Amino acid sequence: MNYFVVVAVGVGFALPVAVLMAAIAQSKAIERALEAIARQPEAAGSIRTTLIIGLALIESLVLYVLVVVMVFLAPKMPTFQQMMQFIGK
């Protein structure tokens, strides 16, 4: 199989899975933070700060997946002419 095809399929699988898992993790984190604030309103400031840091770290995992995908994709990136030949035009 062509390297580009394998990488394209991998990208098509890895990025949506990473985004989906990050969305699930973020929604659970927000849910737990809202529950904690509802139980203990006086701790809302520290809970909010921790939540924002946690959401940033969860979101950074998606960016790490994007970087890893680009590392695998960049060395063998085909030119425009090669892509047209591969497509058949």
In a domain, 45, yes or no: yes
What's the CATH number where 57 sits?
A: 1.20.20.10
In whole angstroms, give the CA distance from residue 67 to residue 7. Answer: 13
In a domain, 33, yes or no: yes
In a domain, 82, yes or no: no
In a domain, 13, yes or no: yes
Closest to 64 in 3D by CA, of 1, 6, 8, 14: 14
In a domain, 65, yes or no: yes
In a domain, 84, yes or no: no
What is the model's pTM? 0.71
pLDDT at 42: 95
In a domain, 78, yes or no: no
Half-sphere exposure of 25 (CA within 13 A, CB side): 17
Residue 21, both tokens? 């898992």
Mean pLDDT per 10-residue interval, the chain, length 89 residues: 75 88 95 95 94 94 87 74 78
Domain count, the chain: 1
Domain range holding 63? 3-73
In a domain, 19, yes or no: yes
